[in-house]
Amino acid sequence: MPQSVIRETFGHLPDGTAVERVRLRTAGGFEARIITYGAALQSLLVPDRSGELADVVLGFDNLEAYTVPRRYYGMTVGRYANRIAGAGFELDGVHVALAANEPPNALHGGSEGFSRKVWTIAATEDGETPAVTLALHSPDGDENYPGALDVRATYRISAPRELTIDYIANSSRPTVISLTNHSFFNLDGVATGADILGHRLRIAADAFLAIDENRIPQPGPPRDVTGTPFDFREAQGIGARINDPDEQLRRGRGYDHNFCLREASGLRLAARVEAPRFGRTMEVHTNQPGLQVYSGNYLDGSVIGKYGRRYQQYDALCLEPQNWPDAPNRPDFPSSRLDPGDSYRNHSVYRFFAR
């Protein structure tokens, strides 16, 4: 069996800080490549029905491309994934003001956030289920969030064609938290140049959060998916209804919405994506209450990524297990609060099949 864990240098930041890449491999060729910058999934090699491997996540071959602001390809985002309305919230009677890095809102943890930090390799594990654990200390007041936060992100090949991502965090003071991985998936393979409109998607959700013009959840309860382009309870082509004259699709320029998963907690199936061309299928299982579905609406060809590809609109799909957006301002949403002595846990599993 080939070596299952390989550490190598991926590049250096302008101040000389080294960024490493860890390759987790199985004998069948399934391979995940993780970089310490942003604790990002840089590459994921998955076989198709013929056994041919392809990289199924958008990203870059060099560190410099990852350091440009507002590029979240494969990144770990936090302290709070998604949007917080008005770039602030109240916690125990105190107003916490955040950077409005997507005016007027805070997005994905702020101006820097966890996606622009160099994480430390805390441990690697060789063998049949190779893994790497990355660590980050976020001091009290980082991006103005209260509490010193210690975070661990573990990537593990937990089965021959299965990648597990675990986030665990503890805080010194009451705070809010929601972490996720922001990978852009194209199951036909990045190199093909194909879009994801022909991928078929099924989501285990009966409701979604309707958004306002600033892509913040509207007041009131989640909206029933019945009779809308957001009904993916049975598999539907992602592109089948994406251009429907629907106000929510217009506001997101496609799908950019939180789906409210049926069960409140526990590891369960959140979504299934099938790519008929080469037969790859991905299931996402998670313990999180929400799944943000983003159809790559703002990819505009201005970014050149792996294989010399210009990433265009609808070139990839993000399925991000997380808490609901703006939950710190919404007591009617699942709580995002983390108190000292408690642990935050996001456990998500990406299972791949070929048919």
- Could you tell me the two tokens for 45? 């090699």
Selected residue with higher pLDDT from 239 and 71: 239
Residues paired with residue 170 on neighbouring β-strands, in sequence order: 150
CB atoms within 10 A of CB 242: 18
pLDDT score, position 3 = 81
- The percent of residues in the chain predicted with pLDDT above 70, rounded, is 99
CATH of 5-354, one of 3.20.20.140, 2.70.98.10, 2.60.40.1150, 3.40.50.1100: 2.70.98.10
Q: How buried is 208 (Cβ within 10 angstroms: 0-12 exposed, 13-18 middle, 19+ buried)?
A: buried
The upper half-sphere exposure of residue 7, i.e. CA atoms within 13 Å in the direction of its Cβ, equals 15
Residues paired with residue 153 on neighbouring β-strands, in sequence order: 134, 167
pLDDT score, position 179 = 98
pLDDT in tens, 74-92: 999 999 999 999 999 999 9
What band does 1 get if pLDDT is binned at 50, 70 and 90?
Answer: low
pLDDT score, position 355 = 86
Buried (b) or exposed (e) across 171-203, using 16+ Cβ within 10 A? bebebbbbbbbbbbbbbbbbeeebbbbebbbbb
Q: What backbone phi and psi angles, to 5 degrees, belong to 342?
A: -100, 165
Distance separating alpha carbons of residues 89 and 97, to the nearest angstrom: 7
CA dihedral 142, 146, 147, 152 (to 10 degrees): -60
- Render 100-117 in DSSP notation, one character per residue: -SBTTBEETTSSS-GGGS
Mean pLDDT of 211-230: 98
CB atoms within 10 A of CB 234: 8
List active site positions: 182, 320
pLDDT score, position 263 = 77
pLDDT in tens, 22-54: 999 998 899 999 999 999 999 999 999 999 999
Between the alpha carbon of residue 136 and those of residues 113, 170, 349, the distances in Å are 11, 11, 22
CB 348 within 8 A of CB 304: no
CB 208 within 8 A of CB 230: yes
Domain ranges of the chain: 5-354
Q: Which amino acid is at 296?
A: G
Mean pLDDT of 141-167: 97
Distance separating alpha carbons of residues 218 and 196, to the nearest angstrom: 28
Cβ contacts of residue 139 below 8 Å, gap of 6+?
148
Say whether pLDDT at 304 is over 80.
Answer: yes
Distance separating alpha carbons of residues 275 and 198, to the nearest angstrom: 7
What band does 70 get if pLDDT is binned at 50, 70 and 90?
Answer: confident
Mean pLDDT of 153-178: 97
- The percent of residues in the chain predicted with pLDDT above 90, rounded, is 96
Mean pLDDT of 273-286: 97
Q: Are strands 200-203 and 162-171 parallel, antiparallel or unpaired?
A: unpaired
pLDDT in tens, 93-119: 999 999 999 999 999 999 999 999 999
- Could you tell me the two tokens for 251? 């506001």
pLDDT score, position 21 = 98
Distance separating alpha carbons of residues 236 and 244, to the nearest angstrom: 14
pLDDT score, position 103 = 96
pLDDT score, position 30 = 97
Say whether pLDDT at 329 is over 90.
Answer: yes
Say whether pLDDT at 67 is over 80.
Answer: yes
Say whether pLDDT at 234 is over 70.
Answer: yes
Buried (b) or exposed (e) across 47-76, using 16+ Cβ within 10 A? bbeeeeebbbbbbbeebebbbeeebbbbbb
